[in-house]
Amino acid sequence: MTALPETTTKKLGLAIDLDTCVGCHACVISCKEWNTSNYGVPLSDIDAYGAEPTGTFLNRIHTYEAKSEGCNAQTVHFPKSCLHCEDAPCVTVCPTGASYKRAEDGIVLVNEDRCIGCSLCAWACPYGAREMDAAAGVMKKCTLCVDRIYNENIPEEDRIPACVRTCPAGARHFGDFADPESNVSILSAERGGIALMPEQDTKPVNRYLPPRPKTDVTGEDKIDILAPFLAPMPKETGGFIGWLDKALEKI
Amino acid sequence: MHPSASVIIFTSLSGLGFGLMFWLGFGFPDVTGWSAFWFFFIAYGLAVGGLISSTAHLGNPQRAMNAFSQWRTSWLSREGVAAVATLILTAPFAIGLIFFNTDLQILGWISSILALVTIFTTSKIYNQLKTVPRWNMPLTPVLFLVYALAGGALLSGQITVSAVLLLVLTLLQLAAWQMGDKAFSNAGHTLETATGLGHLGKMRLLESPHSSPNYLMREMVHVVGRKHALKLRAISTVTLGLFPIAILMFLPFSHLLAAVAVASHLIGLFVSRWLFFAEAEHVVGLYYDQR
């Protein structure tokens, strides 16, 4: 069971647009809400109202600053969840057969009834995609909302992962990377989708679309469209306000 | 990595226990009756004690039997199967020596080899992880095997063999520390490769995804423990090998001095195993700009 499938018919995954993501954490909350009440045990919180609250989340947003010589620093919000790797090391290390990758769509799942909570899969994952639930003692991870995407009891527009459905910026895209004509494949090809930590040879399915290059407005002949609107107010003002200003200056 | 007591005790004690079983299977020392009983009692006590300790860090230990099922793919599962097979096959050999004064030699050899296989599978649990470059070196399984063989030789009372093996062990451990220090940077993992955004410049974490440490940070980002790493390495080097070797080679043999040598070796073993975990840096720390 913990052997990886040779190939998967589909490669379902996410294309995450780092240019569009505003770092609002709505996907984190939406993910927690859906997944705490559906597939598997709830995502517990420990000391939720105390000094050191901690809990299980399947999706986390890191915020980075990138700075290169001579350029302004750039903020990049970086959502991180399971990348549903083709060569998922978390699956093959599992001693119980609880972790598996589905041959039909490539989703990596945990059968919580078999999981002994040994943590080895979390150790094997380079991306920190797996978190052990402190209350239940079993490993939790992104299911790609397997209980939404095929769910015929919910409206068709909701049959996408909760994080994608909720993203107010439209930064998250769900689709089949095995199909070169799919929305995510086209997006990834056009924007130069990034695979994280390729040197780990995990062959992640999810792709990150890098921020688009910023317009350089620092040079002499460069035109900054916003500049006229942001220029300081003129010192001399006419009319009543101008008279008042001068009158008050004189006092 | 978080140096949790359960895995330190597990790898140290079960390594020693199976190391002793390896020597006993080959007839070192050649004992029967009560003295055989005590040797096997110690070997089983260490091996089983270590294995029981390993279940202490499980979230659901009541399902531990599931862990024997995936031996085709999982080193942890193989470790479980190998350990149980060794314990079962050594039992008739031990019973023969203790109660019937009979040496079931072939069974002894088989259990010796199985003991070695078990130690190797234990080492592979850690060695296989590409996410921890310090463990992902060919030296890791060699080190685990020599630890077990040297400790086992010491426990089985072979003075010359254990002195030689302890010397080899000390040198190997020093080499492993040296190589391990460079492993992470040699593997080429940086925050830039972790995010794939190196083309934007130098990256740093501006805002953490959560306000207090989470499971990932508690389990895999252990920074505090490395503060005294150098001193601990020195303590381990002396107690693990040098001091026991000095006792074995330069002092007349007595059971009391042998016990002192074993105690010293145990201290060195625990310290070095603590460092094995505490100094190991997991690549996930990069996302938190910590290692």
Residue A64, classed as helix, strand or coil, is: strand
Structure tokens at B175: 């080499």
- The residue among B2, B54, B70, B75 with the most chain A CBs within 10 A of its CB, best to mutate, is B70
Supply angle C-alpha A79, A83, A88, rounded to 5. 150
CB pairs < 8 Å spanning A and B: 200
Q: Does A192 touch chain B (CB under 8 A)?
A: no
- The tens digit of pLDDT for each residue in A99-130 reads 999 999 999 999 999 999 999 999 999 999 99
Question: Inter-chain contact B58–A67, Cβ cutoff 8 Å?
Answer: no
- The tens digit of pLDDT for each residue in A168-208 reads 999 999 999 999 999 999 999 999 999 999 999 999 999 99
- Asked if residue B160 lies in contact with residue B253, where contact means CB atoms within 8 angstroms, the answer is no
Question: Inter-chain contact A126–B125, Cβ cutoff 8 Å?
Answer: no
Give the whole-angstrom CA distance, residue B62 versus residue A199: 37
Contacts of A79 (CB under 8 A, 6+ apart): A16, A21, A27, A28, A59, A60, A61, A163, A171, A172
Q: Mean of the pLDDT values across residues A40-44?
A: 95
Amino acid at B261: A
pLDDT at position B234 is 95
Instruction: Please give, rounded to a whole number of angstroms, the shortest distance from the CA of A181 to a CA of chain B.
Output: 24
Reported as a pLDDT band with limits 50, 70 and 90, residue A234 is low
Please tell me which of the candidates A53, A63, A137 has its beta carbon nearest to residue B59: A137
- The tens digit of pLDDT for each residue in A47-95 reads 999 999 999 999 999 999 999 888 888 999 999 999 999 999 999 999 9
pLDDT at position B91 is 96
- The tens digit of pLDDT for each residue in B252-283 reads 888 899 999 999 999 999 999 999 999 999 99
Please tell me which of the candidates B67, B196, B287 has its beta carbon nearest to residue A128: B287
Contacts of B211 in chain A (CB under 8 A): 53
Q: Does B102 touch chain A (CB under 8 A)?
A: no
In DSSP notation, A174-221 reads EEETTSTTSHHHHHHHHHTPBPS-GGG----S-EEEPPPPPP---SSS
Q: Does A72 touch chain B (CB under 8 A)?
A: no
Reported as a pLDDT band with limits 50, 70 and 90, residue B191 is very high
pLDDT at position B222 is 79
Q: How far apart are the first and last CA of chain A?
A: 88
Give the whole-angstrom CA distance, residue A127 versus residue B285: 9
Give just the sign of the alpha carbon dihedral B214, B215, B220, B226. positive
Give the whole-angstrom CA distance, residue B181 versus residue A201: 22
Question: Inter-chain contact A95–B74, Cβ cutoff 8 Å?
Answer: yes
pLDDT at position B232 is 93
**Least confident piece of the model among A6-20, A220-234, B252-266:** A220-234
Q: Does B32 touch chain A (CB under 8 A)?
A: no
Reported as a pLDDT band with limits 50, 70 and 90, residue A44 is very high
| Max Cα-Cα span within chain A | 88
Give the whole-angstrom CA distance, residue B148 versus residue B16: 5
Give the whole-angstrom CA distance, residue A40 versus residue A44: 12
Helix axes B5-25, B105-127, angle to 10 degrees: 150
Q: Does B75 touch chain A (CB under 8 A)?
A: yes
pLDDT at position A235 is 66
Domain ranges of chain A: 12-209
pLDDT at position B68 is 95
Q: What is the mean pLDDT of chain A?
A: 92
- The residue among B208, B216, B217, B276 with the most chain A CBs within 10 A of its CB, best to mutate, is B216
Domains detected in chain B: 5-288 (1.20.1630)
Strand pairing of A207-209 and A12-17?
A: parallel
Instruction: Please give, rounded to a whole number of angstroms, the shortest distance from the CA of B89 to a CA of chain A.
Output: 23
Question: Inter-chain contact A199–B64, Cβ cutoff 8 Å?
Answer: no
Give the whole-angstrom CA distance, residue A124 versus residue B131: 6
Q: Does A52 touch chain B (CB under 8 A)?
A: yes
Residue A51: closest C-alpha in chain B? B212
Structure tokens at B93: 């050999």
Reported as a pLDDT band with limits 50, 70 and 90, residue A244 is confident
Q: Does B263 touch chain A (CB under 8 A)?
A: no
pLDDT at position B164 is 97
Q: What is the mean pLDDT of chain B?
A: 94
- Asked if residue B217 lies in contact with residue A54, where contact means CB atoms within 8 angstroms, the answer is no
Higher pLDDT, B288 or A226: B288
- The residue among B51, B195, B211, B221 with the most chain A CBs within 10 A of its CB, best to mutate, is B195
Q: Does B128 touch chain A (CB under 8 A)?
A: yes
- The residue among A43, A52, A120 with the most chain B CBs within 10 A of its CB, best to mutate, is A120
Please tell me which of the candidates B204, B215, B283 has its beta carbon nearest to residue A131: B215
pLDDT at position B217 is 93
Percentages helix, strand, coil for chain B (3-state, rounded to 5) are 75, 0, 25
Instruction: Please give, rounded to a whole number of angstroms, the shortest distance from the CA of A190 to a CA of chain B.
Output: 17
Q: Does B215 touch chain A (CB under 8 A)?
A: yes
- Asked if residue A91 lies in contact with residue A108, where contact means CB atoms within 8 angstroms, the answer is yes
pLDDT at position B228 is 86
- The residue among B129, B197, B202, B218 with the most chain A CBs within 10 A of its CB, best to mutate, is B197
Q: pTM for the complete prediction? A: 0.91
Reported as a pLDDT band with limits 50, 70 and 90, residue B227 is confident
Give the whole-angstrom CA distance, residue A167 versus residue A158: 13
pLDDT value at A233 more than 70? no
Contacts of A79 in chain B (CB under 8 A): none
CATH fold of A12-209 reads Alpha-Beta Plaits (3.30.70)
pLDDT value at A1 more than 60? no
CA distances to A81, A95, A151, B264 from A111, rounded to whole Å, are: 18, 13, 19, 45
Q: What values do phi and psi take at B205, rounded to 5?
A: -75, 120
Question: Inter-chain contact A137–B69, Cβ cutoff 8 Å?
Answer: no
- The tens digit of pLDDT for each residue in B91-129 reads 999 999 999 999 999 999 999 999 999 999 999 999 999
Reported as a pLDDT band with limits 50, 70 and 90, residue A242 is confident
Nearest alpha carbon to residue B261 among B143, B159, B147: B159
Q: Does B84 touch chain A (CB under 8 A)?
A: no
Q: Mean of the pLDDT values across residues B208-235?
A: 88
Structure tokens at B43: 């070997």
Strand pairing of A74-80 and A60-67?
A: antiparallel
Residue with tokens 């410049």: B201
Instruction: Please give, rounded to a whole number of angstroms, the shortest distance from the CA of A241 to a CA of chain B.
Output: 44
% residues pLDDT > 70 (chain B): 99
- Write out the H or E segment, with its range, that includes residue B259: helix B255-278
Please tell me which of the candidates B58, B200, B209 has its beta carbon nearest to residue A116: B58
